[in-house]
Structure 1
């Protein structure tokens, strides 16, 4: 398992906690160093909750108990400047911006890797073997991920249809073969165009995959194969959009390599032939 930073894990889960658990989370974020020295009763008193709520809080953030929380708080606070956990603010030095983003990127990928449903990834990779065409759609930052998906799978011989024109994509989906696959990408899982296109694909009997951060979203509940990623809490300067993008790209990479692994010999030969032909083509043009 990849180690997650406990401070950023608490921040990313705050909105999902109960009111009492949220009070604990907020207290720990403001007093992480002091919390290491408290017992359960002392922390409960400081945060204004019951000791039982401390136990529930630990389980809600994926820990076995308060002892594990203290161990991770101690490990993560050792040698790490507290201001690295804060949002990017105006007039910061580039060095500090880079450190903060690196910390958030590592956290987002760690969370995604630790919670990714690998069985679901294997199911989708197996499904790709029998797909005649893959349709993929993402809007805004998610379109960058759709482009990355298209580039990766196209170069190994999978036909991929990817366009920002959702009207054109609707026409393609209506006439698509049932052996096709539609991959919908939306961080929120509530993007209107993504939902409408997914509904069309479902009506046509096409298999659907949804990549989203929100496991309770409309998209996740609608698709046949939901894939959940993680990626930082929302902040003023949109670092969450940046980290969620990194997490989505990571999911596409995992899916890509899972598929390649199933067909490694054939795909490696294909990539080798492709490289030789491209090099030969450009040598002729330059000659």
Structure 2
């Protein structure tokens, strides 16, 4: 509702009013200008001056804007809560649970095990590798498209888990082709539909039914949860 420039223009007394309003938004909607002035121990003139610095003609317009701000925040909270509820429901589905179990079986039978994370997923690939190695399944995290990977020898099995990102889809197609040619078992984990690419992978785990967001930030919880879910299957 308030911009940095507006808040930065407040003097100490007006900043006190600002803090009170931020902590009592619903209450302020029902207060008169005199009640707000009394509760913040300032004059009504200070309240009017504060409202003007916030881009409003007076206190009445300020309350309208405050109401709109509260409504927007409540709507965003509902969307955020809904995405987490969808995630909880998704991880209970048979499709999700079976894909996790199949992935664990691939890893158990593998002679070697890798993770691949490109772009913004490099840290996650390294984290996965360390976590799997910690429970006894030695894993190497790859973050370089040009890393020289050996061919999988006949009679052996090697698994690589890739993290999907639509922004680097072309690169992932190239990586799938490269690892397929070297006989790797490819497991893709994703928060969104990967389209025709799913036919090129040996297993696909959809960690959630669409991105789980907190404000404009995509939550990493589904990815972390799925990694830990696979680890639990490996330890059974």
Which bin holds the TM-score, normalised by the shorter protein?
Answer: 0.5 to 0.7
Report how far residue 100 of structure 1 moved.
7.7
Distance 1:114-1:235 versus aligned 2 partners, 3 A rule = closer
Question: The residue matched to 1:214 in structure 2 has which SS?
Answer: coil
CA contact (8 A) 1:189 1:218 kept: no
Partner of residue 22, structure 2: none
Residue 83 of structure 1 pairs with residue 73 of structure 2: yes
C-alpha contact (below 8 Å) 2:164/2:194 kept by paired residues: no
RMSD: 3.1
Q: Identify if the C-alpha distance between structure 1 residues 185 and 150 changes in structure 2 by more than 3 Å, giving closer, same or farther.
A: same
Q: 2:136 aligned with 1:163, yes or no?
A: no
* Kept after mapping to 1: 8 A contact 2:112/2:158: yes
Other-structure match for 1:175: 151
Distance verdict in 2 for CA 1:190–1:85, change over 3 Å: farther
Residue in structure 2 matching 1:194, options 147, 157, 172: 172
2:140 and 2:211 mapped to 1: Cα distance?
A: 32
Gaps of 5+ in 1: 1-80, 87-98, 262-287
- Give the paired residue count: 163
Higher Rg: 2
Note the C-alpha offset of 1:204. Answer: 1.8
1:118 to partner: Cα distance? 1.4
Give the structure 1 partner of residue 229 of structure 2.
254
Aligned residue in 2 for 1:137: 116
Q: Taking structure 1 as reference, are residues 82 and 107 closer, same or farther at Cα in structure 2, changes over 3 Å only?
A: farther
Gaps of 5+ in 2: 1-70
The match for 1:120 is 99
Secondary structure of the equivalent of 1:250?
Answer: helix
Q: Name the structure 1 match of 2:132.
A: 153
Q: Is the 8 A contact 1:209 1:223 kept in 2?
A: yes
CA distance in 2, matches of 1:189, 1:121: 25
Q: Is the 8 A contact 2:90 2:96 kept in 1?
A: no
Q: Distance in 1 between matches of 2:182 and 2:141?
A: 18
**Equivalent residue, structure 1, for 2:183:** 205
Q: Once the 2 structures are TM-superposed, how far is the Cα of residue 143 of structure 1 from its aligned partner?
A: 2.5
Q: How far has the Cα of 1:107 moved from its partner? A: 3.2
- Partner of 2:192, secondary structure, is coil
Q: So what's the TM-score if we normalise by structure 1? A: 0.49
